[in-house]
């Protein structure tokens, strides 16, 4: 049996591998830290919208605020656009607790609801291992030169992204164990050598 604890940014990974199962627990960011992250990105969005609304245009032309119809459209669309562009990054960069468990027949994933800042509610899903496809170590999301790596897979008709900030060495152990159970791990080797040379895989 292999047991290890790996450090990630303010996170800790517990990995348990035996001949019959793989158990991974990511102790992610606390609800308080996720709340602060949400507040920070919301404040940036509000600041950006205010700058667009109230800063004067070129050559002293009036700001958008003076055009009521244009300012109304901006107030509706700008927050939505920022939300769409940053939602996945924020949720993965400041992920809460997650678990991944697999035996030779079933893969189960559970995670704390991101907006539950008390960390009391978990969402979980289980899939027959034979129905889980293309388990890979890939970029989960990238923004402004930062790439967050983890496991990507397809199950239940959905593309799932799990275990953000997973290090290459830990990913390789997990993928090799899953492959030995008959899981669909198509990459060989499961983690490219160039990623192993980088501690964070980014």
pLDDT tens-digit series, residues 94-139: 899 999 999 999 999 999 998 888 888 999 999 999 999 999 999 9
For 133, the 3-state DSSP assignment is strand
Do 73 and 112 share a domain, yes or no? Answer: no
Confidence (pTM): 0.74
**Assigned domain for 43 exists:** yes
d(CA 124, CA 143): 28
Which pLDDT value is given to residue 7?
35
d(CA 126, CA 100): 10
Which pLDDT value is given to residue 37?
85
Domain boundary among 70, 92, 114: 92
Is-contact 102 22, C-beta < 8 A?
yes
| Residues of the domain holding 78 | 34-92
Number of domains in the chain: 2
Query: Which parts of the chain have pLDDT scores under 70?
Result: 1-11, 53-54, 57-76, 78, 82, 84-85, 196-202
Do 158 and 192 share a domain, yes or no? Answer: yes
Is-contact 172 193, C-beta < 8 A?
no
Do 187 and 127 share a domain, yes or no? Answer: yes
**Assigned domain for 67 exists:** yes
**Assigned domain for 22 exists:** yes
Do 128 and 178 share a domain, yes or no? Answer: yes
Do 25 and 121 share a domain, yes or no? Answer: yes
d(CA 188, CA 196): 14
């Amino acid at each position: 049996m292999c047991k290890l604890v790996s450090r990630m940014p303010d996170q800790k990974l517990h990995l348990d591998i035996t001949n019959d199962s793989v158990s991974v627990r990511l102790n992610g960011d606390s609800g308080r830290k996720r709340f602060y992250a949400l507040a920070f990105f919301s404040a940036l969005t509000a600041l950006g919208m205010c700058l667009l609304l109230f800063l004067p245009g070129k050559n002293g032309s009036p700001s958008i605020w003076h055009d009521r119809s244009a300012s109304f459209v901006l107030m509706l669309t700008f927050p939505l656009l920022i939300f769409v562009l940053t939602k996945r990054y924020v949720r993965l960069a400041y992920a809460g607790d997650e678990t991944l468990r697999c035996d030779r027949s079933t893969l189960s994933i559970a995670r704390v609801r991101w907006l539950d800042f008390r960390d009391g509610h978990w969402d979980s899903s289980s899939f027959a291992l034979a129905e889980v496809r293309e388990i890979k170590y890939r970029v989960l999301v990238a923004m402004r030169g930062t790439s967050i790596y983890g496991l990507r897979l397809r199950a239940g008709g959905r593309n799932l992204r799990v275990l953000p900030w997973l290090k290459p060495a830990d990913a390789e152990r997990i993928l090799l164990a899953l492959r030995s159970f008959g899981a669909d791990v198509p990459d060989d080797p499961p983690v490219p050598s160039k990623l192993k040379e980088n501690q964070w895989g980014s």
